[in-house]
Every structure is written in C-alpha cells, then in structure tokens.
Chain A
Amino acid sequence: MAEPAYTVASDSETTGEEKTYTLPEIAIGIDIGTSQCSIAVWNGSRVELLKNTRNQKIMRSYVTFKDDIPSGGVSSQLSHEGELLSGATVFNMKRLIGRVDTDPVVHASKNLPFLVQTLDIGVRPFIAALVNNMWRSTTPEEVLAIFLVELRALAEAQLKRPIRNVVLTIPVSFSRFQLTRIERACAMAGLHVLRLMPEPTAVALLYAQHQQQASHENMGSGSEKIALIFNMGAGYCDVAVTATAGGVSQIKALARSTIGGEDLLQNMMRHLLPDSENIFKSHGVKEIESMALLRVATQDAIHRLSSDNNVQVDVDLGNGVKISKVVDREEFEEVNRSVFEKCESLIIQCLQDARVEVEDVNDVIIVGGCSYIPRVKNLVTNICKVKELYKGMNPLEAAVCGAAVEGAVASGINDPFGNLDLLTIQATPLAIGIRADGNNFVPVIPRNTTMPARKELVFTTVHDNQTEALILVYEGEGNKAEENHLLGYFKIMGIPAAPKGVPEINVCMDIDAANVLRVLAGVVMPGSRQPAVPVMEVRMPTVEDGHGWCAEALNRNYGATLDLVTIQKKA
C-alpha cells in the first residue's frame, strides 16, 4: 500500500482543482461514527463495504499520536486496548466537533483518557494527546481529517482510482455550524462533500431500495410503506419516520438527541466507581491509565450484558483501587434509566411530528451499535407495538450502505435494473429562526420542513423611531434564543423613522437544493410599494469559532435597542 499522506492537503476550505475523469466518478459513502467507521461504494450492481488490510469492514474511530506521526484506527491496530492507557489516543471526536466549551457534551467528555480542557467562556475546548510526557494539542477537525485520509487511501488502493467525492453520514442533531466543521475536515483530507446525510435518512434510502427491489420481484403495487428508523450509536440517538413508495423516500419527521452508548458507558463507570470523576480530575499519567482501565472493563461488561444476564467485573485500577463486582442486566438498565426514557420520548415525539399512528408503521428498523442492547430493542418494539423488527439490514452497516447508494444516485449513475431509481425528500432536522419578542427564538423555518424550502415572517420594531434592527439567526429547538446555536447576525440600517410597530421587517429564509441557507431581510413602510432600504442577503452560517460569546457581546453592547417583535395578528 502506498505511504499514506498525513499532511493536510490544503488549508483552504475548498481544495484546488483536480484532474477530470472520463468516467463519472461514483462518490463513496463514509460513515464516521463516534466509535466506529466504515466506507462503502456502489460497485455497479450492489453496495460493497471496503475492508482494511486487516480484513475489517468496521474500523475503530481513534487516532494515536506517537512521536510526530499520528495514525488512525484504519491503518494501524492498537496492539491492545491498553494503548488507550497512555493518553496518546484520541477518540469520540464526532461528539466534540463544532462544540464550544460551555456545551454539556464537551463537559461530559472531560473524563476521557486524554485531555479535554474547558474555560467555560464559549470558545473551542482544548484537546490534547499525551506524547512523550507532553500534551500535544489537536482539534476534532484534525483528528477526523487524519482518519479520512486513511479511509481515502484505503479506498484508492482498492478501487485503483483517485477518490474525491464523498457522501458522509451525520447525526440529525448536528447544527449547521457543525456541518461546516465536517466539511472542513473533509477539505483537509482532500475530499469533496457531495452530500451530508443524516444517518437515519441514509438508512431510509436503503430501505427504499429494498422496497423497490421487492416490488420489482413481486410485480406488486408498490403502495406506500411507513418505516420508523431508530439509530443509536456511541454518541448520538436519532429517529426518523419515512413514507416510501416507488423508490421515493419521504422523510416525514426526524428526532434527535446527543445521548448514546457513551452515556451508558459513563453512567456505568460512575456506578462501578462512584467517585471516579474526582479521582481522575488531575489528569496525570497514572489517572489516565486508571481511567482507561475502568473504561475498557466497563465497556467489556456492557457488551457481555447483551447476551449474559450478569457479568463479573474485575479490574485493578492501581493506587490500591480495585473493583470486583457482579453486575446484572437489571442493574445496568436501572443505572441508565434516564437514557432509555429519553430514547422512548424521542420515538414518541417523532411519530407525533410525522402525524403517524403506531398502527400505521409497516416496518421498524433498529441500527447502530446500541441496537444489540436488549433493553433498546425492547423499548422500540414496545412503543411501536411490534413483535418483529425489520430484517435484512446489518445494524452496523446500514448507514454506510445508504450513503454509498446516495453516492451513486447523486453521481448520476444509472442502473439497468432500476436499483438506483431512488430519491430522498429530506426534512429540516432543526428549526431555524431569529431572536425576537424579547429573548425568544422565533422559528421562520420550523423543524421537519421539507427541503428545499423558503419561508418568510414579518417582524416590526419595538421602539419609536427605531432606525436599526439586529437580526440574530439561530438554529435549534429551544424557546429562548440562547438555548440554540447561533448561525450568524447582521444589522438592518436605515429604517425610516416611524412609531414602533409600523415598519415591516420581512425576514425570509431559503434553503436551496444544495442545503445552503440564505437569510434575507428587507424593510417596507405601509403605503409604500418599494423596499425602504436595499435588501440584505446573508449566507449562513457566518459565525466562526467562539460563537458562544458573540450573542452575549451583542447583548452587552446593544441591549434591547435593536430588538424586533413578531407582528401580532390583528383581531
């Protein structure tokens, strides 16, 4: 195999022009999970998962920093889980990418066996690996890029062609800012992102392909089928409800959360060693080793509890701390009760948003690493009132296969048997809106709006003779503005002097076919037919790092002087 290039191909957001190929390049599908990743391609008749030199289709998502050259889980193998113990191995980056140090998810990552340091002011967390007794700093983007370079090298060696276009799966809960970070990591690895697909929608596409194939074989009517997809990996839990007919997968609703196997693991670690967070706080070499030992032992116990009713945990953490305990499945389920309850509420919420009755769901699909946990299976089958789960999908491979199918479809590949005669109608996973009515978040494009979309809302001024207004664009589900992700902001100037409530400020949001968000704002005075000032058009997100404190700074500087309110319905 060729020497993998670990250097960053380009530091710009987009890489330079590449050679043009005579054949249409089939984009490959990549699933970078919090703990595992895989790569797949449409080989002309079906999806094929690519294996690494150790014959693995599912590879671990970690990067070990040793000396000057970091190496990822694609090409190298941890000699032993024990390599985690040294503090040189960084993982779970998908949970940290694009997050600021005030984010609870970042705080929950502080007991990982490397350094995640927070200053709690709304900036990037400091992440570092311990190499030769020195903390070497890194970023989630860099770690993912190293990984993507290895995956790219693997694919290029096997497919014997350069790889440029990729379809990546992402968690539903990723904000648009996080998407830009993923694109950045891809650009660093010399890859061009053709599509970013929420994981359950990739599974939905694979399901649509299955249905299409089945209807060809049976010559059936191809009537509409409703599927519920529950996807729970190490870092995220997503639910989708899709209506499929004739190869068209219509995403009716998405629900998402940042809970996952990592939470189950941490709850168990706390259960086994209640004071673990304090014990490991100092992040010394010894503490990291203990932390990693506990992690490995706990993970192993959780895996075994999927098939056994109880397991014996024996681990010597050093410094006289020893754990010797029998853990049974009920205990595990009790410790993680809140996680499982959250899963239940996500499914219910998704069905409600999709306006689908449980009885109308034809198939229930569970994918992701947590799908092996009996309690997860039970809760899904109970809520969906089904006895059997959908068969015919590998829970660990479904998302990457869907991404590979999308890669072929989006690359314009035709299949003589109609196996690529597919379309996904996507929906917005999060609402997008602005701050108005005080500190409230007012959605302009609600969650689960079909994309592409274009929506408008009219706002007005809150002060007499208010000549300027601040448009703060957020994405999320929180009622208060600050509970959401800030995507960008701009100021409208030159509003003609008028009593409050008179000028009409029209805010329009447009998500185009390429999922690009544009925010437009214009001012019209009653009786006038022309906009009072030129319309502003801003492509979002515009906020770079440190977005956590931008809104606070704006608030400090302007208070409520540039506020807006929604126009009330006149009775």
Chain B
Amino acid sequence: MRFYPGLTITPTDHRFCVPTATNPVSLRPIIGPIKCPNRVTFSFKKPRATLNGAAATEDKPATAVADLSFYELLGISESGSLMEIKQAYKQLARKYHPDVSPPGRLEEYTKRFIRVQEAYETLSDPTRRAMYDNDMARGVHFAFNARRSYHHRDQVVEHKSEWKSRWQSQLSELKRRSRSKSKDEGKNMSWAARMRQQRNESSDES
C-alpha cells in the first residue's frame, strides 16, 4: 500500500487542488510549500460551503497554520520532551477540537485539529520524529500537506519490534490455548510457567 506524498488536504480550494508544480518526489529540497503534484486531492470544503467568497477569508488563519512546522504548530521547542508534546497536544485539543468549536466554525476547527493531531502523531513517535527532524535539518521544509510519508503507521519501521513480538507471542499463546482444548502436557502448568518454558525453548534454539 502506498501513500503519495503529494496527497493533500487543501484548505483553500474546494474539491480539487490544481497543482502548480510537478515534483512528485517529496525529498527534493524545496523551500516553501509543495503543491500537490498531479494528484487528485480533496479539500474539507463541501460544495455548499464554498458557494461564495466568504470561505476564502475564513480559510486565512488555517493557511497560515499550514506553513508552520510541527514544533511551531504545537508551540514547543525542537528539543521539547515527550511530556511537553503530550501536554501541548492536549492543550491544543481543548482549543481546537470540533467539540469546543463555536457554532459556524466547525470545519475550520476540524481542519486545525487534524493538523494538530498529525503533528502530535509524528512528534510523539521517536522514529517518525527522527525522520521529521532529519528532513528539517536538511532544509526540507514541507508544506503541512506534503508530510504524509511520516504519518502512516504501516510504513514506519517498527523499532519496538521486540516489544511487539512479545505481545504477539502472548496473543498466539492464547490462540494456541483455545485451539488445544485437550488435556495435554501443559495442563498442570500455569500460563506464565508455560510462557517461560516457551521463551527458554526459543532462546535455546537461537
């Protein structure tokens, strides 16, 4: 499954973003926002909401937000700790979550919240944050929209693989237990004891 870096949520246009550049490779060091290249994108605006010019003014603050780095968006320094990130995220959620939106500004708040969410998801994950920092350091300043590559979980190398596999072994153990209902060898052992035995067996193998 592939995510296109150019796929964007554009705040200004309705329905389609007409690309102004044709640089589909997101790693090219371009200063300034990359417009989505050759990709269909959908904006938040539903057609009925953009029937007049009012939408353009309403979008202005959101456009400004789009140029901010994730750190600027969360209002923290680039050396900010995980705790600061979490705190900033919750504070901004209280400010921009659509549930606290004044009537009539729901879409704007929704957009903002999704941005804050993306910044939080990127910076709260050590791997994704490192990738993001790396690009920032090389002067690659993506528009908010072009950062898709950071935020798809499946694409991120799972650094906690050891931790994950431990969970998975527990899950598969549970599955195994429910399969083998018969009174087999492990009957008199506790689950933990069997887990330990299994772990010893697997470490012997390696």
Contacts and interface: CB of A to CB of B under 8 A. Distances in A.
Interface of A: 223-224, 243, 245-248, 250, 337-338, 341-342, 344-345, 348-349, 351-352, 355, 357, 409-410, 423-425, 442, 446, 450, 452-454, 456-458, 504, 506, 508, 510, 512-513, 520, 522-524, 526-531, 535, 537, 566-570
Given A248-B90, A531-B40, 13 more contacts: A224-B86, A224-B87, A342-B178, A351-B167, A425-B93, A446-B153, A452-B113, A453-B114, A454-B114, A457-B1, A524-B39, A535-B42, A537-B46
B42 A520 contact: yes
Contacts of A247: 94
B174 interface: yes
Given A520-B42, A535-B16, A246 B97 contact: no
Contact of B15 (A223, A457, A528, A535): A535
A445 B33 CA distance: 26
Contacts of A246: 87, 90-91, 94
B138 interface: no
Given A245-B87, A248-B93, A456 B7 contact: yes
B38 A529 contact: yes
Interface string B108-124: 01100110010001000
Given A423-B100, A530-B16, A348 B153 contact: no
A506 B99 contact: no
A264 to B, nearest CB: 16
Interface residues of B, number: 49
A526 B24 CA distance: 11
Interface string B1-43: 1111001010000011011000000000000000000111110
Contacts of A570: 2
Given A423-B99, A452-B98, A504-B39, A513 B106 contact: yes
The 3 closest A-B pairs by CB, nearest first: A513-B98, A522-B40, A506-B40
Contact of A513 (B1, B86, B99): B99
B101 interface: yes
B164 A506 contact: no
Given A458-B4, A522-B40, A250 B153 contact: no
Interface in B59-102: 83, 86-87, 90-91, 93-94, 97-101
Contacts of A341: 174, 177-178
Given A245-B87, A522-B40, A530-B16, A567 B2 contact: yes
B49 to A, nearest CB: 12
Given A504-B39, A520-B42, A568-B2, A513 B167 contact: no
A132 to B, nearest CB: 46
Given A454-B9, A569-B2, A338 B94 contact: no
Contact of B86 (A245, A424, A568): A245
A562 to B, nearest CB: 19
A452 B114 contact: yes
A190 B164 CA distance: 48
Interface string B152-169: 010000001001100110
Nearest to A528: B38
29 contacts: A224-B86, A247-B94, A250-B93, A337-B181, A341-B174, A341-B177, A345-B171, A345-B174, A348-B174, A355-B160, A357-B163, A423-B100, A424-B99, A446-B153, A452-B114, A453-B114, A457-B1, A457-B3, A506-B39, A506-B40, A512-B98, A512-B106, A524-B39, A529-B38, A531-B40, A535-B16, A566-B2, A567-B2, A570-B2
Contacts of B46: 537
Given A513-B106, A529-B19, A423 B94 contact: yes
B201 to A, nearest CB: 21
B166 to A, nearest CB: 9
Contacts of B171: 345, 348-349, 352
A508 B100 contact: no
Contacts of A527: 38
Given A248-B94, A348-B170, A446-B153, A458 B114 contact: no
Contact of B40 (A349, A424, A446, A524): A524
A51 B177 CA distance: 45
Contacts of A338: 178
A255 to B, nearest CB: 11
Nearest to B101: A513
Nearest to A511: B110
Nearest to A452: B110
Q: Which of A342, A351, A457 has the most CB of B within 10 A?
A: A457
B42 A508 contact: yes
A426 to B, nearest CB: 9
Nearest to A424: B99
A467 to B, nearest CB: 17
A243 B93 CA distance: 13
Contacts of A458: 2, 4, 7, 39
B93 A423 contact: yes
Nearest to A426: B99
Nearest to B98: A513
B97 A425 contact: yes
Contacts of A535: 15-16, 40, 42
A527 B7 CA distance: 15
Nearest to A532: B40
A527 B39 CA distance: 10
Nearest to A567: B2
A571 to B, nearest CB: 11
Given A345-B171, A513-B98, A513-B106, A566 B40 contact: no
